[in-house]
Structure 1
Amino acid sequence: FLAGSSEAADTEVKSVEYCIVGAGPAGLQLAYFMQRAKRDYVVIERASIAGSFFTYTLRHDWNSLISDDPSLQLRHYSSIMFPQKEVLVKYLNDYKTKLGLKVDFNTPVASVEKLARENFRLNTTGSRNYSCKVVVMATGLPNLRKPDFVGAEHTIGYDKVSVNASDFEGKRVLIIGKGNSAFETAQHIYGNTRFLHMAGRHAVRFAWSTHYVGDVRAVNNELLDTYQLKSLDGMFESGISRRSTGEFCLQPPEGNPRDGLETRIKEQQYCYDIIIRATGFTWDADVTAPLSQTSTHRNKYPRISHQFESSDVPGIFYAGTMTHGLDFREAAGGFIHGFRYTARALHRYLENRRHGNKWPGTRRPLMGLIDALVKRINEGSGTYQMFSFLSDIVLVDKDRTSFTLLEEVPSRTLHILPRITGHPVDEGTDVIVFQFEYGKNFSGARADTFHERRAGCDIAFGYECNFLHPVLYHYKRLPNRQQMFNESLKTNNLKLPEPHATLHLMEDFFTNFRQDNHLVPLVAFLESALGRPLTPPSMEQCLRLTLRHGEAPEYCTEAANSNSKRDPDELASIELYEHLNQAGINDRGASKQCRAADGLEDAARQLNPDERLLIGSLAEGWSLSLLTDPQGNGLGKDSIKWLSFKIEDQAHLDVDPVTLKFPNNGSRPSQEIRQVYKCCRPNRADRVRLLLPKGLSCTSACTVLELDTESGELDQLKVSFKLQEKQIMRRLSTIQGQLYVLLLLVFKRLLPEAPGSIRSLRACHAKALLFFMISGHSNSQQSAWTKEKLISLLKESLGMLVNYLTATKTPGDCMPNFFMPDATLRLKSTSKAGRIDFKKEKIALLKGCKDVTPLLNLVKNRVSARESDRVFQLFTALPMVELNDFEAFTGDALLYLLVQHLFNEIPKLQVDARKEFLQHIEKLRSLPSSSSVSACLVIMARLRLDDSESAKEKLQQVMWRHVEPCRFNFPCGVEPDFSFLPEFTRKLIKITPYGSGNMLQVNFRSLLMSLQAELLSKEQIFLNEWRRALEPDPDIDELYALAHYSRNTEQIRKCSKKIRELLDCENRGLGDAQKHWSVARKACFNGLFMVTMLAAALAALSRVPILISDGPVLVVSPWLGQFF
C-alpha cells in the first residue's frame, strides 16, 4: 500500500473519481460496491498480490467478504474456524479475480497532495500517478507500534520473528504484549522453549469477559497455566540491556521504585535469550502528512468523523481497520466480519453525497412494520456484528400510513440523518431506532460473565438482560449534536440520547426473537408509540368501535379500502410464499444446498484425474428432493449429475461422448456422468448477463457439446449451456426460485397426474420460462418479484408457454432456447414427435392459467420440509477409489481416503503397527466432522488387538448428541475379515455388487450403537439417546440396530414404520435392504403366516424382537397386521 519515494519527471497521470489505497479485505470490499454501482474507481496496491499484509501472520478471523457470488464464501476454502494464512490470501485474490475488480498492483503510494477543484494527487514510486476526486485509505495498520523504552533495539518485532518453533529450542523467551498476537506467538513456540514469560502494561483481557473480539480469545489461551503475569506487570518502566554473554536482562527503573519492582528485578535477575515485541500495530500517517492529517485516536487510528471522513482533510475517507477508532473496544469494526458492513455504509454515504442516490430504503404500508422489524431483528447481520454502532432506522410518515426502513446506518449520525441518507425527516415524523446492545454492566476485563444469574431476564425487565439483545428507541424528533455527543452518555454508559420511549427485548439463547415473549412487547411498544394498531383490524373489531364511537376509526376505513383494491391472487400468493418458505424453498436453503454440492465437487475433483463438474438441480440449489409429502416420501428423484470433459483438443471429435448411469444402491445415490467436449464459442455471455445482478460478470466461459439424445440421430452433437444455467440458478432470489419450483411441480406432478398423463415437459423448459421471465422484467426487478405477485408470475409463465406451443409449427418443438433464440427446445419423447398432441398440453396449461387451486392444494397437502435437509451423504456419493498416498489431498477427500485406509487396515492390524495406525488416527482427528468416525475406528482397532477393556472405556465416553451420521461407501476387492466383532455388528457391514465390482457400505453411527449394546452393560446403554440422535436423519441400518436392541414394543413399532417409509420412498430405489424386506413380507403371506405369528407371540411374551434372514435384521411385531 504505502512507501516513501519521489515522483519521476515523466510520470503519467491517471484520472479517476475514486482512488482506493490498499487491496486488503477492506479495499476489495469497497471496490466490489463501487463496481456494482458502475463507478469510476481504481484500487492501488503496493504489493503484487491482494492481502499481502496477511502473508506473515499465523491466523486470521474466519469471515467472508460480501458479494453476490455464493462461491466467494470462506467456508468453501476452509471448514476450520481459524485456517492458515495462505487460505485468506488465496481467497482475497480469488475475490478480486472472479469479480473482475480493478486493481493496480506493484504501485506503492508515496504521498497525497491537495489540488485545485477539490481534487487530490496520489504520487507513487512507479511510472503512474493518480488524480482523484475522492481518496479512500484502506491500508490497515501496517506498522508495529514503536517501542518507547530503553533497550528496545535488542527486541525482535512480531513481523520479523521466526515462525519455525524449532528456532526457540531451549531458549529463554520474553514476549512483550498481552494481546492476541502475543498469545498466538507464545502458544506457537512455548513447547520448545526453556521457559517463556509474558509482560505488558495491563493485565490480560479476555474476549469472553469484555465481549470485544480484539481481546484474547479462547483459541489463543492454552498458555494460561504456564506464563507469569504479576511479577512483570511494571516491565515497561524498566529497560533492557545486553550483557557480554549475549543475553538480554531487565534493568531496574530509574527514580522511585514501585511495588518493590526494582528489588525483584535485582534479586531474580530476569535474563533472556530472545525478547519478542508484540505490542500491536498502528496506522501509517506518512502518506497523508503533507496534508496535515496527523490527528490520531488512542495514538493508533486516524481521527475521523462518523461518516468515515478525515477530521483534518475533507475528501479523504478511511475504510477497514483504520475506522476502528470509532468503535474501539466495543464492536467488531477492526475485523473483517465488522468492517465489511462499515465499508458498505461508507459506500452508501458516498452514493448519496456525490451522486444523489438516497440511502437504500424500503417503503411499505404501516401495517407491514412489525413484519419488517421482526425480519431485520432476526436476520440482519450488519446490526448484529456491529452492535451499538450500526442501526436500522424507521421513519414513520406524519400521517402514519406508511414507513421507510433504512438499514445499517451509523448510529452516531442520527442528528444529521437527512444529510447522511438523503431521506427527509419532516416535523411530525416518528423515528424508531433499532440496534443490538449488551447489558449495561456485563462487559469488562474483570467482569464475571459466568455467574449464576447471568441469563434469564424477565419479559417485564428486559433492560436487565446481560447478553446481546435488541433495543428500540422512539424519538418524536431527531436529537441535536449537543445531545448526541454529551459527555453524560459515556459517563452513564448510554448508547444514544434519551428518547421518548425505550424497549429492551429479552435475550434469547438461540438469538431467535420470534417468540411470543418478544412479539407481544414489540407490538405493544410500537402501537403505543404510534397511537394506532399495527395489525389488520377484523370486521368485528371495526364494527364494535363504530357502534361505540358513532363512526369508524380511520384505520378501519383504510383497511377496507385497501382490501377492496387488492388483487384476489395477492393473499393466496402470500400464503403460498410462506408455505414454500417454511419448507426451506428460499435463497438461504438454496445457498446451503449449493455449499454441500461444492463440497462434493471439490472432493470428487481431487479423487478423479479427469476434469469433472457438478450440474443439475443439486448443484443449482432448487431441488424437489428437498421436499417431501406428509408421509415422508420425496417429491423428487434427482440424481447426482456430472459433466466429464472427454478431451482437451477441441479440433478432433473421434469418438462420440456417452452418458454413464449408475442406479442407486443402498445408501449410495444414483449418479449420471455425461461425457462432453468443451466448446468456447458460442458462450453467449451477453444472454447470461441479462439474468445476473448488475456488476456481476459471467464466469462460465465455455459451453459444452454433448450427444443429442432427443433428435433420434445418434451421431449428432448439441450445444449445451448447463454451466451458464448453473451460474444463473445460483443467483436467483427467493421469489424467482419459488417460481421455478412451482413450474417444476406443475410439469412433474400436476400434469402427469392429470387425465391423459402429460409427461412431455421437463426441468429445462421450466428454466427457459424462468429466464425469459427474468429478462422480461429486468427493468422492474424490485416491483415485479415480490411475494404478493407469485401467482401472477406463475400465470404469466404458463401463458407464455401456451403462446409458444400455439406458435410452433414443427411437431415436437416446444419453445425457443433462451441462450440461442433461433434454436428450439423440444418436448420429451421426441422419437414419437409426430404423435405428440399439443392440444392436451395447451388445455391443461390454460386451465392452470385460469385456476391455480389444484396447484395450491398440491403444495399445501403434499409439500413440506424434509426432516433432514441432507439430499445425500457426502462420503456415499464420492468416486470410489483406493489410494494410499494422502499428501496431495485436502479436506473431505483426505478424510475419505484416511477412513478407507484405516478401515481396511483394521482386520490385519498387528501390535507392531499400532504406532503408525495411531498417527493416521491423529491426522484424521485434525479434520472437521471426524470425531465419531475416529472413535469407532479406535474401538474396532482395540477389539482387533484383544484390548476389550480400553474399547469399553472408549464406548462409555461416546456423547450421542455429538454423533453425526457417518456413512461411507468403499470399493471392495477382497471381503475383509471382521470375525473379532460381535455377530450382529458384522451384519451391519455390507458388501453389495456395484458396477463391475463390489462396494462396501458402512455406517459408523450404527456400528457405534451395536458395539455399545454388545460390550457394555444394560445400565450403560441409553436407547433414548440413540433415538434422539437418529431423529433428524435416520438410516435403515440404524433403525434396524435400534429395533434389534430395544425392549420397548412402541419403539419397535415406530422403527418398523419408519423402515417401511424409507423403503417405499421414491428417491431411494431398490437397494439390498428393500429386497430383504420384500422377501420376508412375501414369505409371511405365502404359507409362513402361522409360523411367524407363533414366533411373534413368543416375542410378545419375552418382549424381544425376532431376527429373520442372514442379512439385515427384520423386526416382526406381535401386531403383524399393523405393518403388512
Structure 2
Amino acid sequence: MVDTAHTYVIVGAGPAGLQLSYHLQQQGADYLTFERGAEPGGFFRRFPRHRRLNSLNAVHTDSSDPGIRLRSDGNSLLNDDPELLFAKFSQEYLPAADDLVRYLAEFQRIHQLRVRYGTTVEQVSREDDGFTVRTDRGVVRARCLVVATGWGRPFVPDIPGIEHATGYEEMDVDPDRYAGRRVLIIGKGNAAFDTASSILGRASVVHLASRRPLRLARDTGHPGDVRGRHGAILDSDRFTPLHAVLDGTIDAIRPVDGGFRVSVTDPHAPGETAELDYHEVLRCTGFRMDTSLFDASCTPDMVRDGRLPGLRPDWQSSNVDDLYFAGTVAQARDVRHAASPFIDGFRYNLRTLTRLLRERYDGVPLPAATTSGEPASLTTVMLDRVNGSPALWTQSGYLCDVFVRDDATGGFRHHEELPEDYAVPRFAHSSHCYTLALRRGRADGSDTDRRPARDSTVIHPVLRRYRHGELVAEQHLPGDLLAEWRRVDRHVEPLVRFLGRDLTDDS
C-alpha cells in the first residue's frame, strides 16, 4: 500500500540532500527527503577518520561582496540567511569535520526542511510513471527520484590477499598503535596522506603505494588531489631512507611470521618486483556508491571502476529515465575537472538542477534574463558575471553562462550556470549561442603573465560562439593575479572588438 506520493523524493540528507531540499522548498515544490540516520550529515560523523577537512574556510577576505566571499568558502550551503554561513561555526582555515556536522544540523533546523529521519530506503522500483520507494516505515511514490546518498561503501581493489589489509573505515586512528612498526598504506590520495601524516612520528617505516603517480593539488589545480598540508611526508620521502611514496602495482599480500609480505612491481622498470615486509597494511583506496537499494528495473549503469553512476548532461542516469544523482556521486561528467564532488562545487550544480527539474516536472520555464545585443552592453553583462559569480569560479570549465540571440530582435536571452555539454545541444537551433566560462589552460608551471591569453594556465574568461551546435569562434581574455577582469585594454576592449566582429557574421 502506498502511503503518499510526491513529485520529488530525495534519498539522503547529507550536504547535497539538504541543499537540494532547500532549493526545492524555496520554489514551493512537492518533495520529501529520506535519511536513515537520526540527524543530517551521517558520512561526516565518521569521515574523514582524522577529523580534519580539506575544504578551505577563508573567514577574512578583502571583499564584502557575498559572491566573492563564497569563492573562498568551501563549506557553506547556499541559502538566504546570512547567519547560516560556515564561518559562523568555525574560524579555522582547515576546519574540523565536527564543525560541519553542527552546521548541517543547524541548517536543517533553521529552514525546517521536509526530511524524514530514521527512515531507511530498502528498495526502489521503476514504474511507468515514476518510482515506488519502499522504506522501513512505509511505501512512497515518486515522479522523480534524486539519489544523494554519497559514498556508500569502500572501494576494495582486486589484489590477491587484499583481505589481509585493514580498511580506512575500520583502522585504529591512535598514532601510538603504530609505534615502531613498518606500515604500508595502499593509496596516494588525501585519506592515505592523512593517515601517513598522523603516524609519521611513531611508525618506523611508512610507505604509500599505488599504481597511479602522486598528484598534488597545487600542480593539477584539482581540489581532490593531495593537499599541500602533507608536506612532512613528502619531505621525508626526499630526505630520509625511512618513509617513501612509491609508484607500484601491488601484486599480492601474504601473511608471513606475524606480519605481511607484499609483492610490488615497479611500473618504471617492467618485470622488476620487490618483496617488502610490513607489520601493518592499511587500505586507503577510497569509496564507491552503493547500488543495493535499486532493483533490476532501475539499476543504474556504473562507470569509473564501478564507483560512480553514469550521467547524462542534466545529472540524470545514463540508462534510467527520471532517476537523478546529486552531490559527491554526481561527478561522472567532470571527473577530476571541476569541484563537483565537493560542497563548494555541487551547491551550484544543485541550484541549476533545481531549475531543470522544475522545468521538466512542474512546467516552470528555465530562468532567463534579456540583454541588449549591442557589443558594449553585452560586454558589460559578461564581465560582471565572470567577476561576480562564485559558481563560474568554482565550477570553472564546467558551468557556463549562455547567451542565445533572438534573431527577430537582435537581443539575447541570458541563462546562468548551465553545464556546457547540456547547453550546446539544447540551443543548437541558434546561429549565435555564446557560452561564457572561466577556464584554465595548460598547467606547466611557466610564467603565465607573459603568455597569450589562449595559453594561460591561470583561471581566465573564455567566450565561445556556437553556430547550430558547432564551435566556430573563441575569445580568451588574459588572467589576472587578483581575479579581476575589468581592465579596459586587456579585457573590455578585446571583448567588445570580438563581439563587434562576430555578431555581424551570419555565414
Native 8 Å contact 1:390 1:435 kept in 2: yes
Aligned-residue CA RMSD in angstroms?
Answer: 2.2
Native 8 Å contact 1:183 1:221 kept in 2: no
User: What residue identity is the alignment partner of 1:282?
Assistant: R
Among all aligned residue pairs of Structure 1 and Structure 2, give the percentage whose two residues are the same amino acid.
32
Distance 2:279 2:294 in 1: 39
Q: 1:512 corresponds to which residue?
A: 484
Native 8 Å contact 1:15 1:132 kept in 2: yes
Counterpart check, 1:55 vs 2:67: no
Matched ranges for 1:600-749 at <5 A: none
Counterpart check, 1:473 vs 2:464: yes
Counterpart check, 1:522 vs 2:471: no
Counterpart check, 1:110 vs 2:125: no
Distance 1:196 1:12 in 2: 55
Matched ranges for 1:64-463 at <5 A: 64-116=76-128, 118-124=129-135, 126-227=136-237, 232-236=246-250, 238-243=251-256, 245-251=257-263, 259=270, 261-262=272-273, 264-265=274-275, 270-299=276-305, 300-367=307-374, 368-417=377-426, 430-439=432-441, 442-443=442-443, 448-449=444-445, 451=446, 453-457=447-451, 461-463=452-454
Distance 2:349 2:152 in 1: 20
Distance 2:435 2:212 in 1: 36
Report how far residue 34 of structure 1 moved.
Answer: 0.4
Report how far residue 163 of structure 1 moved.
Answer: 2.4
SS, match of residue 83 in structure 2? coil
Counterpart check, 1:464 vs 2:455: yes
Distance 2:246 2:424 in 1: 47
Native 8 Å contact 1:165 1:188 kept in 2: yes
User: What residue identity is the alignment partner of 2:37?
Assistant: A
Report how far residue 358 of structure 1 moved.
Answer: 1.7
SS, match of residue 326 in structure 1? coil
SS, match of residue 370 in structure 2? strand
Q: 1:896 corresponds to which residue?
A: none
Report how far residue 260 of structure 1 moved.
Answer: 5.4
**Structure with the higher helix share, 1 or 2:** 1
Query: How does the TM-score come out when normalised to structure 1?
Result: 0.41
Native 8 Å contact 2:152 2:287 kept in 1: yes
Native 8 Å contact 1:199 1:229 kept in 2: no
User: What residue identity is the alignment partner of 1:115?
Assistant: E
After superposition, what is the alpha-carbon deviation per residue over 1:992-1037, rounded to whole angstroms, capped at 9, x for unaligned?
xxxxxxxxxxxxxxxxxxxxxxxxxxxxxxxxxxxxxxxxxxxxxx
Distance 1:231 1:40 in 2: 51
Q: 1:175 to 1:231 in 2, by over 3 A?
A: closer
SS, match of residue 449 in structure 2? coil
SS, match of residue 416 in structure 2? strand
Distance 2:324 2:271 in 1: 48
After superposition, what is the alpha-carbon deviation per residue over 1:108-129, rounded to whole angstroms, capped at 9, x for unaligned?
112111224x1211122x2222
SS, match of residue 381 in structure 2? helix
**Structure with the higher strand share, 1 or 2:** 2
Query: How does the TM-score come out when normalised to structure 2?
Result: 0.88
Native 8 Å contact 1:142 1:282 kept in 2: yes
Matched ranges for 1:929-948 at <5 A: none
Native 8 Å contact 2:300 2:320 kept in 1: no
Native 8 Å contact 2:125 2:298 kept in 1: no
User: What residue identity is the alignment partner of 2:471?
Assistant: E
Q: 2:69 corresponds to which residue?
A: none
Native 8 Å contact 2:465 2:471 kept in 1: no
Distance 2:45 2:278 in 1: 28
Report how far residue 504 of structure 1 moved.
Answer: 0.4
Distance 1:258 1:123 in 2: 53
SS, match of residue 498 in structure 1? strand
After superposition, what is the alpha-carbon deviation per residue over 1:35-83, rounded to whole angstroms, capped at 9, x for unaligned?
0011111111111111110122123224211101111111111122211
Native 8 Å contact 1:12 1:127 kept in 2: no
User: What residue identity is the alignment partner of 2:35?
Assistant: E
Report how far residue 426 of structure 1 moved.
Answer: 6.0
SS, match of residue 374 in structure 1? helix
Report how far residue 365 of structure 1 moved.
Answer: 3.4
Distance 2:359 2:477 in 1: 33
Distance 2:246 2:491 in 1: 49
Matched ranges for 1:540-559 at <5 A: none
SS, match of residue 471 in structure 2? coil
Q: 1:38 corresponds to which residue?
A: 28
Report how far residue 401 of structure 1 moved.
Answer: 4.3
Distance 1:381 1:45 in 2: 29
SS, match of residue 163 in structure 2? helix
List gaps (5 residues or longer) in structure 2: 57-73
Native 8 Å contact 1:414 1:478 kept in 2: no
Distance 1:416 1:503 in 2: 20
Distance 2:93 2:232 in 1: 16
Higher RCO, Cα 8 Å, sep 6+:
2
Distance 2:269 2:494 in 1: 55
Native 8 Å contact 1:22 1:44 kept in 2: yes
Distance 1:135 1:408 in 2: 23
Q: 1:134 to 1:336 in 2, by over 3 A?
A: same
Report how far residue 380 of structure 1 moved.
Answer: 1.0
Report how far residue 456 of structure 1 moved.
Answer: 2.8
Q: 1:349 to 1:139 in 2, by over 3 A?
A: same
Native 8 Å contact 2:126 2:298 kept in 1: no
SS, match of residue 436 in structure 1? strand
Distance 2:117 2:27 in 1: 23
